[in-house]
Amino acid sequence: MATNPQYPDPRRPSQRFQGRDNVRDIRTDSPGSPRREFPWPVLAIVAAAAILAALIYWLPRTPHRLPPPSAAQVPQQPTGNQIQLTNLAVEHAPVGNSLYLTGNIHNNGSTDITGVQLQATFLGNNGQVLDTQTRPVEGLANPNDPTPQDLTKAPIKPNQSRMFRIYFEHYPAGWNKEVPGLKITTVTGTTP
């Protein structure tokens, strides 16, 4: 048994092993010397940071709050108070269970009226509510022509009156045949 083994000295360049196809340096491949590898973990961390930075950059941002429009920018909106309904009458349609409610509509406001919706409440003989229907108001050009006018194309100007009609496809059984109770639900308009 050898008490003093002789190992190759890694500091001596003369000790080299030559294989068939390659040359191997004992100094650089010894178990005690560090091997130089490509730093893959560092590259992966840098790539992940770059992707994260790109995502943060291109993500949508919260929109900036715009100030609300001032009173000068918002036109005065029409209300149900600026509309007056007069001369209301019920006309039964010649066929079926439908009817027309006719009358005059007057614009008391300062804006052009381009649309009106009414809610009609039909009552029974004892005063109980039988049905409630919401319908648009149609303008009439003249009393002799039953062709309706679309109020968006022919608005009612301020301080102007026009004949109107409302068509109901059906009325409830037991209705007392009186003018239904009317409530203005929607009014649209534009500034003149």
Quick one: pLDDT at residue 47? Answer: 95
How crowded is the C-beta side of 86, counted as CA atoms within 13 Å? 7
- Contact predicate 185/134, CB 8 Å: yes
Edge to edge, the sheet with strand 112-123 lists 129-136, 112-123, 181-190
Quick one: pLDDT at residue 50? Answer: 96
- Contact predicate 114/137, CB 8 Å: no
Q: What b/e string do you get for 121-150 counting C-beta neighbours within 10 Å, with b at 16 or more? A: ebbeeeeeebbebebebbbbeeeeeeebbe
80-190 has which fold? Immunoglobulin-like (2.60.40)
The CA distance from 137 to 186, in Å, is 10
Query: In order along the chain (192 residues), what is the average pLDDT of each group of 10 residues?
Result: 65 53 51 70 94 88 73 61 86 82 88 88 90 89 75 86 88 87 86 62
Task: Give the domain ranges of the chain.
Answer: 80-190
139, 88, 84: which is closest to 114 by C-alpha? 139
- Contact predicate 10/28, CB 8 Å: no
